[in-house]
Amino acid sequence: MTTQTALPAMQESLLDVAGRKIFVAETGDGPPVLLLHGGGPGASGVSNYGRNIAELAKEYRVIVPDLPGYGRSTKGVDGADPFGHLAEGIRGLMDQLGLDKAHLVGNSYGGACALRLALDTPDRVDRMVLMGPGGIGTTRALPTPGLTSLLNYYSGDGPSRLKLEKFIRNHLVFNAAEVPDSVIDERYRASIDPEVVAAPPLRRPSGPNALRTLWKMDFTRDKRLTRLPVPTLVLWGAADKVNRPEGGRMLAERMPNCDLYLVANTGHWVQWERAELFNRLCADFLAGRR
């Protein structure tokens, strides 16, 4: 089991981005790297990358935002185009930080955010690492049990610690015994923020334009993918129960500069479950050493 790494001192800011607040923490010196977290209940930037920040900060300026709708950032995500909404927020954050270009690292929902940002404005992205990103082949198969569990968290009888624990232990990771109760407790407390409950940032598209939204949220339907020049490393847990590992092959077959690494005995949380491997591969790839 990988142990939790002590976090370095981080500078925290709450920046105004087009009238909305985005919380960001940063540390380290070097080329800028934005770490974009996943979309599960109670997720936030620093908590999702707690096993990676210190190691990557040895070589990079590590910038860790709470995505729009999460953590200490303004709540609410545009349900008609959620990936575009997240990408616009992060691009605005880059503007506020004076970054013309940066590396992007994204897990799940954050991976979808990174990919959409790169497709819309490839000149803003240097290199990209995606871990089990959302939006890959989602119109080509039914949702996985893990994704269904995630999307049902705020529906029915509403959020509960038991619901969250079942999602994390049964669907998020390969080895449930590795997840301490404290992680679940922290995520649960964040997930029941009244503002989040009122406007869950990740939910099924609905309404008359739901099919159009679903189509837009499947990157394999986006013709720009085959022309995307950004060097990309895709890391996918072979036992991912949230986003199907076959998505990695879909990206590798479509993207002209995409390396794929399938991680054995690993679920949806590669950067947490296999932190040492992830930190090494990520640092080397972003530096152009592999």
Q: Are strands 61-65 and 20-27 parallel, antiparallel or unpaired?
A: antiparallel
Stretch 126-152: mean pLDDT, rounded? 94
Per-residue confidence at 4, pLDDT binned at 50, 70, 90? low
What's the mean per-residue pLDDT of the chain?
Answer: 94
Instruction: Using the CB atoms, write b or e for 129-162: b if 16+ within 10 Å.
Output: bbbbbbbbbbeeeeebebbebbeebbeeeebeee
* 211-232 residue pLDDT tens: 888 888 999 999 999 999 999 9
Q: Is 268 a catalytic residue?
A: yes
CB neighbours (10 Å) of residue 52? Answer: 22
Entry pTM: 0.95
Quote the pLDDT of residue 289: 86
* 188-215 residue pLDDT tens: 999 999 999 999 998 888 788 888 888 8
Q: Which residue has the higher pLDDT, 3 or 47?
A: 47
Has residue 84 got a pLDDT over 90?
Answer: yes
* 91-124 residue pLDDT tens: 999 999 999 999 999 999 999 999 999 999 999 9
Quote the pLDDT of residue 207: 80
Has residue 2 got a pLDDT over 60?
Answer: no
Quote the pLDDT of residue 1: 42
